Amino acid sequence: MALIVQKYGGTSVGSIERIRSVAERVAKFRALGHQVVVVVSAMAGETNRLIELARQIQKDPDPRELDVLLATGEQVSIALLAMALKDLGLKAKSYTGPQVRILTDAAHTKARILAIDEERLRRDLEAGCVVVVAGFQGVTEDGDITTLGRGGSDTTGVALAAALKADECQIYTDVDGVYTTDPRIVPEARRLKTITFEEMLEMASLGSKVLQIRSVEFAGKYRVRLRVLSSFEDEGEGTLITFEEDAMERPLISGIAFNRDEAKLTVIGVPDRPGIAAHILGPIAEANIDVDMIVQNVGHDGTTDFSFTVHRNEYRKALGLLERIRGEIGARAIEGDERIAKVSIVGVGMRTHAGIASKMFRALAEENINIQMISTSEIKISVVVDDKYMELAVRALHQAFELDKEPAVPATA
């Protein structure tokens, strides 16, 4: 008998029929003798409907009141799911975030969980109850309702699993696991049976949006066994997210992430002296523009070129800012390019293996894809290329690293 936390997103509870099928899956786990805590999001579309209502009243809705409003979305879901469970003859009880007492800070619309009072839930579980908890919401020390921000239901699930010391936290979504890359681009893409937390973090932040980053960090911190599964399939074991130390031999590369969300800016011919990077990026930061990749190469003739990427939505704003400070920083010219793509290979194995980068660059060269920027971390290598080559680059890398093949099972020591 295990204690399992299951989290279902908005699509999984998006209609009466789907709520019923969630209840049926929970019933199967109960029939196997497991204790089950279910965390649910608002029904698909509901949160947007509520935000639209709020915007009709206030252009920039008051954050405290927006949280009061949005919290109703999950409250509807928990009540309906508890009813569906009872309709199947199970014992069930719903709880809002404030009712559990999921204590958060007071940062309305993006609050962080501080503590969870799990005593009442544990009593219900021991009495044979399925406990249904509203995701995405909590309460401050003062009793104000808070929300954790978009995707926060994943975080609720992981935090509850940590507080209850659950055997597993299962995140049900509309994909059946984490893939080596997007199957729409590479049909041979393969579902990973396991992926490490660190790889998952890199994959998520790079655009494979299966899980919310914060929930993955949370799971890593509290050592929660996390599994991503499809809510539309009854079979399948999904992808288990593991701790690196659990994994034995790891494949070199786990997956390939990519996005077209960014734009590139280059400041050409700035004096190559200390403080120049801060001088360029200071005004960008003040304008609240997030910078992703930053590349500065060694200079020559006393000047250097400085490149960075921003989200495409902020490209025009960033370009305008740089034009304005060009004289001040003594740059020769400002260049920009919106038509770029970022492609990254991710894998903890690369830490202990040389030659990964050169293999990546060779695969791209063989397809005549020019690399515009390179940035590396311990477990990933990212390149910026012309965006028309993105799909080609992803396919070439998928093949070069043989990601379509199941990695050989290492011999047990």
Interface contacts to its own copies, rule CB under 8 A: 16, 19-20, 50, 53-54, 56-58, 61-62, 64-66, 68-69, 71-72, 75-76, 78-80, 82-84, 86-87, 93-94, 96, 98-99, 120, 143-145
Q: Is 88 exposed, middle or buried (0-12, 13-18, 19+ CB in 10 A)?
A: middle
Q: Which is nearer to its own copies, 72 or 194 (CB)?
A: 72
* Nearest distance, CB of residue 144 and its own copies, angstroms: 8
80 versus 350: smaller Cβ distance to its own copies: 80
With CA atoms as reference, report the closest residue to 73 among 5, 145, 18, 170.
145
Query: In the bound complex, what is the minimum distance in angstroms from residue 33's beta carbon to its own copies?
Result: 24
Residue 56 or 358: the one with the smaller Cβ distance to its own copies is: 56
Please report how close the Cβ of residue 140 comes to its own copies at its closest, in angstroms: 11
Closest distance between its own copies and the C-beta of residue 95, in Å? 9
| Spatial separation of the C-alpha atoms in residues 177 and 91, rounded to whole Å | 30
Quote the least distance from Cβ 238 to its own copies, whole Å: 27
> Which three-class secondary structure state does DSSP give residue 321?
helix
Q: Would you say 77 or 242 has its CB closer to its own copies?
A: 77
- DSSP letter for 37, please: E
DSSP label at residue 260: S
- State which residue, 130 or 175, has the beta carbon closest to its own copies: 130
What's the rounded Cα separation, in Å, for the pair 394 and 260? 12
Give kind and range of the element (H or E) at residue 161. helix 152-164
End-to-end Cα separation, the chain, in angstroms: 30
Q: Which is nearer to its own copies, 82 or 253 (CB)?
A: 82
Distance in angstroms (rounded) separating the CA atoms of residues 349 and 351: 5
Residue 61 CB, nearest approach to its own copies (Å): 6
Nearer to its own copies, 124 or 199 (CB): 124
Least distance to its own copies from the beta carbon of 117, Å? Answer: 11
Q: What does the block give as tokens for 104? A: 């958060």
- Residue 219, class by beta-carbon neighbours within 10 Å (0-12 exposed, 13-18 middle, 19+ buried)? buried
Query: How far apart are the C-alpha atoms of 8 and 28, rounded to whole Å?
Result: 16
